[in-house]
Each structure stands twice: as structure tokens, then as C-alpha cells.
Amino acid sequence: MKNLPPCPLKQTLLSLLLLVYCSLLIPSSHAENLGWETCQEKGHYLNAFYESKPGVGGRQYERDRRIDVKHLKLELVPDFAKQAMAGIATLNFSPIAKPLDQLHLDAVSLSVEKVESSAPLQDWENNDEQIILTFKQALPVGKEAWVKITYSVEKPDHGLYFRTEAMGYPKGDDQLWTQGQPERHRYWFPGYDYPNERFTSEVICKVPDKMTVLSNGKLLSEKTANGFTIFHWLQDKPHANYLVSVVAGYFDKLEDQYRDIPLAFYAPPSEFAVAENSFRDTKQIMAFFEKEIGVPYPWDKYFSVCVHDFIAGGMENTSLTTLTNYTLFSEASENIRTSYPLDAHEMAHQWFGDLVTAKDWSQLWLNEGFATFYTNLYEQSKNGTDSMRYRLYLDAKRIFKAKDEKPITWRGYKNPQEQFDYRVYPKGGWVLHMLRSQMGPELYQKCIQTYLERNREQSVETADLRRVIEELSGQSWDRFFDQWVHHGGVPKLKISSYDWDEKRKQAKLSISQTQKISDKVVLFVLPLPVRMIVDGKVHDTTVSITRDSEDFYFDLPKKPDIIRVDPDYTLLADIYFHPPTSTRSAQLKNKKDMMGRLLAVQLLGGKKDSKSIDKLKHTLNNDSFYGVRIEAAKALAKTHTPDALKALTDSLNQKDARARQEVVRALVKFYNNDALSTLKQIVNKEKNPEIAAVAIDGLGKFPVSQVKTTLLGALEKPSYRNTLASAAIHAMKDQSTPEYAEVLLKVLQTQETSFTTRSFASSMNSLATLVRGEQADNAAKEEIRVFISEFLSHPKPSLRIAAIRALASLEDQRSLPALKTITSSGNKESSEYKAAESAIKKLVSGKKQADEVEDLRKEMLKIQKEIQGLKKQVETERNRSLLLLKSVRPLLKPDKK
């Protein structure tokens, strides 16, 4: 039997009852003898007893390769109605170091009809995890052989995904697509599903006429007969298994060309009208990368295809990138929404990840870190150095928020998906930025070009990169990689004091490292650039940080006007430095130093004096860079005074939509009539739906009577992907009143297809939240429960999970039987099972707590009756004592004699 954590409400009520009970029976002067402190400590101990502790997992290492896979051929016939695939997989291979008596192929829950082989087979078995082929005689080392497996799969858990009209997607958009990373292809075709092997591949796919099939490499043929078309694709350069891709369905197409390389962008017909917005940078990105990397684009083509409800943002399949349809955007969003960073990230992978591939998931940063950094380099090429530095700044903020100490090359993961976090993306990108900054762009470029050429079409690890850098630079980079890649954390530098010695004409900075040092996080040794500006003249020095605390001295002609630490933003360090007030003003005015102005703005945030607010307002309206204006809006929100609110309200006329949106976000943080009035005006006047949605969402915290009309109006107002309606629904949820339930239910019942899947899922949860609790009408609550429960069998898996979570939010015990049918299925690894299990626990816990409250109510009534009885007994005994005392008092009088 599993013990549940003690109910906090029960503990509190029992303590109060005990306190009341004892205070009635025992004089207050004796209360200390009851040991309340001991009872409270015991309560804390009980709570601590139930805290879970993380388990200890094993370390992951590269998989052994017993065979060299030469070629994979897939012959496929999809069934869109059944969400199924019939296939024949042919694998050519040869044993590597030892004769091979058994071949193990990754294959999860495939129905295998037939297994054939060029070498005689003794037997084969399918255990739902692998297909194991046993040869009559061991295959000799180097002897090429083939196996052919005829199989089928229906509604696989991973790897192969269908999107059809029958599932609730737009008519005419039927499609299927695959996703292999990290190890998902085993769920729909048998093979060697690990990144340290490379082979050529071939896809032959038969689909209904008018459909398109896309895959890796070049199209060899397209033949139509009897209402079907067979597409034949060949990838004749080796790549990793997870990069194999098949996309089939109805798509419209945009075309272009860079040199002799065909470029194309595919989108579902229902969304094709806005597709051009996401294709406009592709050619420029490829041209920039070829020049910057120094290696020509390595594949036959570059196509991108947008698919419905992709499970990630994008996937860099060799020559065929899959993109989420959420990257598509309308012109109404101005520059708030754009696709070029995603486009650049996925194209960078064609070199970093596809041409050279991380050999195991601990080395993933060699794929994702490079793609992140080269996206930033394209940002610099497109919009200037300040834009690149601002992206680096946002990346650094994400890194600093992380609390764990895992290194980039962490081997303690249990599932490869755990590696796809801040360490391999922004931190990996920052490592490359620091390398480039310390080496110089020319030497860095030479190193990267050599790294790619030397390891072309191979699996790589961090040592391969370091080896090239050390060879070409003549320097040891051992410490650099050890502290930044193989250890966790980042340096936290505190500049505790700045002093100026007028006699010696010398500035002093005291710098200490404050990060917690352990076997996981080292004391960093690093170069720290420092810039002092005197009368407009720049004095640059680089100091070496080698200890936990050091003092540094700078000889100058006179006291500096500006003091900047890491002025060109080349070091990933969480730096705490509050320069003298006199230098901050000069820093804020320095037009040549965007990062300096940004940091000066941050230091003004929270200061409530009029001068600081005026400076922030001036910056918000006049700074040349949108990122500084964004930070000025944030700083005014932090200040949070009536004057700060007025400064924001006066600054809404921002030409750059990104800055205008941030001003509205800042206004949302205020709660008064002025803020309410301004937000309502924005909702009515703002033409950009992305900005109006922020204002609508912000109305949720105000009284229903003051915003209901505005929210209901926004709910009915058309916008791209129902952006405004989704914001209104979220605001309604924040208001937690059943007043909106009826109208919201009607909207969701009649307009499901006008919402994105994500928004509709979120809206179901909002609807459930509105009617939970005792204030909602029971009949209305039941109608909503029935509506949500219908989605438990919806063909979209994400909506089934959303319905489960919404029923948990509804907190209605009548949902338990439906949820238990899901957990009775036995598939404990499925997302639906886990969501249902969590929902059941929440509802059972809620029921138990409700029962406990009822028991406590009864117990309180019982105690009250007992207390009343005790009071009567005490009163009776008191009266008896008084009568007795009255009767004996004459006897106690002293004898006059």
C-alpha cells in the first residue's frame, strides 16, 4: 500500500482544533507545557518524509557497430484512412571485425510478414523491440550481404505521423511525414537506428494521384498509372539513419535556385497563401553559409516542407527540412513573426549534423551548437552586429536561468531527448562564439573549414574539433574545452569595487568568481576584456582571470568617463557590475555601444526618481536599436510607479512592432484604472493581432464587469489563426468565473477548425477551469464535461491528451470512469496513459481531500458537542462547589470565645 502525503488542509484544521480544544480546558499560562514547537517540527518532518529524491542513472556511451551498413531501400505504400504503412525494407551490409552469426535490427512493434536474405537463414524472430536474424553460417568479415523484410505498421507511437481530414485537419491537406531524431525510425521501419553509422538510402513510395512524395536526395522518376503515382528518390551520399525522411500528401510549391542547386518550399494548400513569407531568405542564407563556412553546399537540393502539427520546430533531414506549420505567418504581424532564424538554423545543419554527424547523443552540441551559432552569424550578416549581440544576450539569459550543473557532453541521460536543452543549443553556440572571438574570425573560419573537410561524411566527437583547432592555431585548447564543454556551469563574476587613485592616475577593479566550485563546476581561467573611455579615447585591456578573487590596476591619463567590462560581448559570464552613477549616464549616451546602453538601462530599472524614469522614457522613444528600447520598457515595468506607467503610455507610438509589443507587455503588469483604460484602447485600435493579443490577455486580471464586453468582442473578432480569440479565452480563464462558460462552449463546439491544435487544446482547459468549483451550475458543468469527454477518442493524439488534462482541471469525480478506461489499456509508456494516470491521481486526491474535509467537519461538530458537554460538567461542578463552600463557610468562622 502506498502512503499518500498528508493533507495540508487536514493538518491545519486539526492543529487549530487541538489548539481551540486545549485553550478551553487548560489555562493559557500552562500552554507552553504542551510542546507546540515539537508538534510543528514533527509536522515538517512528516512533510520532508514524503519528498521524492532523484534516482541515479547509468552513463551512456557510443553503441558498438558490428556491421557496416551500405544502403537502405524502402518500398512504401501508405494507407491514409487507416494511418498505416506497408513496406519492404532492404538493407545491404557487411560484417566489420568478426564473422556475423546473428543480425539485430531495431524494430518496435512492427508486423513482419516475411524475411529474406542473400545468405541462408536458420531462423528469425520479432520480439517487438528487434528483429533478430540467425544465419546458418556466420557471414565472413567484409562479405557484403542483404536482408529484405516485408512488414506493416498501423498508427505507430513514434516516427510516422498522419494528418488527414478525418482527423480534423483542413480538407485537401491530407499528409504524412516522418521524424527520426533521436531514435524514432525503428517504430516504422527496421534498421540500424543510431547516429554513428552512415549509408546511402532510397525511397520508392506509391500514393494516390495528385499527391506529392518528397524524400532525401534527387528524384529519379515519377510514374502515374491506375490512379496512383510512384515516386523514386535516391540519396547517393551517405547519411545517418535518423536523417532519412519521407513526406507525402497534398502540397503546393514555391521554387527558386541557388547556383545549380534547386530550392523549394512546400506548404499545405490551406496555408499556402502566406508561404512566401517563410521562403524569402533561403537563397541568401545558403549564399552566406557557403562563404562563411568555406565548404560548398554538399547535397543535391534543398527543400523545406511545412507540415501540420510537427512535433518540433524543424528537422534537418538531409536535403529535405521539415518545418512546423506554426512558422508560417501573415504580414499583419509585421516583424514580430519571422521564419528566417528557423530557416537558417535548419540549413546550417546540412553542414553541421548532416555532412558531419555527432557520433552519439553526448556530442549533440556539435550539431545543435553549430546550428545555433551560425544562425547568429546570419543575423549579423542580415541585420548588423548589434542584432547578433542581442541574440547572444537573449541566449545568455536562458543559460543563466538554468540551475543544473550538467556539462554539455553529459552522459548521465536516460533518454536521448534529455540532451536537447539549453546546453547544446545556446551554450553550445556561445562556446563557438568565444572560440571565434579569441581566435579571430579568419583563423576560426580556417579551423571550421578544415574540420568539415577532414571529417566529411563521418561521425565526429568534440576531440575531432579540438584536434583541428590546436593543430592550426599552435595553441593548447585543452583547458578551454574542459571547463566550457566537459564541465558544467558558467563563471559568475562579481566586480565588488571600483576605485580611482587620482595621485597615481590609476583605476582599480576587484573581481571575484562567485559560482559554487565543485567537481562539476570548475574555477574558470579566462580572458576578460576591459574598456576604459577617457575624453572619447578608448583604452582596451584584457586581464587574465585565474583565481577566485583578484585586483586589477589600469593606468590612465585621467579618471575614466565610461568603464565597460567585456565591451564587445565575447565572454559567457554572468557579470555583476554596478559602475559609478556618473559613468552610467555617459554609457547610456554612447551611440557606438549598444550593449553598454542596454546594461545601463537595466541598472535604471526599479529606480523611482523622476530623473531615472525620464532617462528610460527618452531611451524608449529615441534609442536607435529596438532591443535597447525593449529593455527600457521592461525597466519601466520594474519601476512600477504612476510616473512609469505614464511614461509607457506616452511611448506606445513605436514604429518597430517588437518594441511596441514590449511596451504593451509592460503595461499589462500594472493594475489600475489608467492601465485598464489604455489596454482597452489598444485592443480597439491596434491593427497588429500579435500586439492586440497581449493587451487582451492582460485584461484577465481586471473585474469581469469592466472587461466582459471587450473580451466577448475579441472572441468573435477574426484574426490569423484565431490569435485574438485565443487571447480572449486565456483572459477568461484568468477571471475564473462561469459567466463565460456558455458562450465559450458554443465557440469551441462550432469553430474547432479555425483554431490551431495548440490553441484549441489550451481553450478546452480554460473551459474546464471556468466551471470547476461550487459556484458553477451543475447542469452546465455536466454539459461541458460531456463535451470534453468526447475528445478522449479524437483522432488527433494531442487533443486526446488535452481532453484528459482538461478533465483533471474540471475536478469532477464523474470523469474517473472514462479516465480509467485509458489506464486499463496497459500501454504504460504512452503519453495518454501517463496523462490519464496523473489526472486520476489528481481527482482521487481531490476526492480524498473533500472526504477528509467532510470527516473533519463531522469531527469538529463532535468535538464542539463534547466541549459543550464539558462546559456543562464544569459549570455543574462549579455550582456544586459553590453550594458546598456556602454550606461550610459558617463552620469555618472563628469562635468568638
Cell of 85: 504503412
Q: In the beta sheet, which residues pair with residue 266?
A: 253, 305
Residue showing cell 563557438: 432
- pLDDT score for 885: 66
Q: 763: closest CA among 776, 750, 747?
A: 747
Q: What is the pLDDT of residues 817-828, one digit of tens each?
A: 999 999 997 678
**Contact in structure between 387 and 410 (CB atoms under 8 Å):** no
Q: What is the pLDDT of residues 233-245, one digit of tens each?
A: 999 999 999 999 9
> Predicted confidence band at 879 (pLDDT cuts at 50, 70, 90)?
confident
Q: 104: closest CA among 134, 68, 75, 77?
A: 134
- pLDDT score for 861: 67
Q: What is the pLDDT of residues 671-727, one digit of tens each?
A: 999 999 999 999 999 999 999 999 999 999 999 999 999 999 999 999 999 999 999
Q: What is the pLDDT of residues 588-639, one digit of tens each?
A: 999 999 999 999 999 999 999 999 999 999 999 999 999 999 999 999 999 9
Residue type at 326? Y
**Contact in structure between 807 and 815 (CB atoms under 8 Å):** yes
Mean pLDDT of 513-534: 97
Least confident of 13-17, 559-563, 796-800, 828-832: 13-17
**Contact in structure between 86 and 76 (CB atoms under 8 Å):** yes
Question: What is the dihedral angle through the alpha carbons of 613, 615, 616, 622, rounded to the nearest 10 degrees?
Answer: 140
pLDDT above 50 (res 18) = no
Quote the DSSP letter at residue 30: G
Mean pLDDT of 638-659: 98
Cα 786–chain centre separation: 32
- Give ∠ CA 178-184-190 in degrees, rounded to 5: 90
Count of Cβ atoms closer than 10 Å to residue 400 Cβ? 14
Rounded Cα distance between 268 and 753, Å, is 15
Phi, psi of 896 (to 5 degrees): -60, -30
pLDDT above 80 (res 14) = no
Cα 694–chain centre separation: 20
Q: What is the pLDDT of residues 496-506, one digit of tens each?
A: 999 999 999 99
- pLDDT score for 23: 36
Q: What is the pLDDT of residues 359-385, one digit of tens each?
A: 999 999 999 999 999 999 999 999 999
- pLDDT score for 40: 29
Q: Give kind and range of the element (H or E) at residue 306.
A: strand 302-307
Q: What is the pLDDT of residues 790-844, one digit of tens each?
A: 999 999 999 999 999 999 999 999 999 999 999 997 678 888 999 999 999 999 9
Mean pLDDT of 564-590: 96
Q: In the beta sheet, which residues pair with residue 530?
A: 541, 565
To the question of pTM greater than 0.85 for the whole model, the response is yes
Per-residue b or e along 340-365, where b marks 16 or more CB atoms closer than 10 Å to that residue's CB: bbbbbbbbbbbbbbbbbbbbbbbbbb
Cβ neighbours of residue 480 closer than 8 Å, sequence gap 6 or more: 434, 435
Q: In the beta sheet, which residues pair with residue 229?
A: 207, 224
Strands (DSSP E) contained in 140-292 are 145-154, 160-163, 175-178, 198-208, 212-215, 218-225, 228-240, 246-249, 252-258, 261-267
Phi, psi of 262 (to 5 degrees): -65, 135
**Contact in structure between 515 and 491 (CB atoms under 8 Å):** yes
- pLDDT score for 52: 28
Rounded Cα distance between 563 and 728, Å, is 47
Rounded Cα distance between 888 and 734, Å, is 72
Q: What is the pLDDT of residues 729-782, one digit of tens each?
A: 999 999 999 999 999 999 999 999 999 999 999 999 999 999 998 777 888 899
Backbone Cα Rg of the chain? 34
Rounded Cα distance between 608 and 558, Å, is 32
pLDDT above 50 (res 16) = no
- pLDDT score for 5: 39
Q: What is the pLDDT of residues 44-84, one digit of tens each?
A: 222 222 222 333 458 999 999 999 999 999 999 999 999 99
Q: 316: closest CA among 415, 216, 395, 249?
A: 216
Residue showing cell 556551469: 489
* 441 preceded by a cis bond (ω within 30 of 0): no
DSSP string computed for 393-446:
HHHHHHHHH------TT----SSGGGG-STIIIIIHHHHHHHHHHHH-HHHHHH
Rounded Cα distance between 222 and 363, Å, is 39
Count of Cβ atoms closer than 10 Å to residue 750 Cβ? 9
What does pLDDT average to over the chain? 91
Handedness of CA 788, 792, 793, 796 (dihedral sign): positive
